[in-house]
């Protein structure tokens, strides 16, 4: 099941590991300044196009962000 708080936690974790600030990521992905914090509070999360942009920017799989896998590089296999 989709959990927006888990997704946001994973986004923050992988961004930190890669040395990317959340503000930088949001800007580069064309998101608003509060997109990540709003997604954490929302039952609906975020639009799929935004989620794909984040996954692409962070070079991780969408499945990882959704919590379907613990391997952020599962998209490379």
Of 68, 53, 60, 73, the C-alpha closest to 15 is 60
Show the tokens assigned to 66. 């959704």
Helices and strands (H, E) in the chain, number of each type:
5, 0
Tens of pLDDT, residue by residue over 35-76, are 998 888 887 778 889 999 999 999 999 999 988 888 887 777
pLDDT of residue 2: 66
- Rounded mean pLDDT of 6-16? 94
pTM of the full predicted structure?
A: 0.87
The domain tally of the chain equals 1
In a domain, 72, yes or no: no
Write out the residue range of the structural domain in which residue 48 sits.
Answer: 4-65
Domain at 52, CATH number:
1.10.260.40
pLDDT band at residue 10 under the 50/70/90 scheme: very high
Burial (CB < 10 A; 0-12, 13-18, 19+), residue 26, is buried
Mean pLDDT for the stretch of residues 14-43:
92
């Amino acid at each position: 099941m989709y959990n927006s708080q888990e997704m946001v936690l994973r986004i923050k974790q992988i961004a930190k590991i890669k040395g990317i600030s959340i503000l930088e990521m949001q800007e580069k992905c064309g998101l608003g300044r509060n997109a990540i914090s709003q997604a954490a509070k929302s039952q609906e999360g975020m639009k799929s196009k935004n989620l794909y942009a984040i996954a692409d920017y962070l070079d991780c799989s969408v499945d990882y962000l959704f919590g379907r896998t613990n391997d952020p590089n599962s998209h490379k296999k």
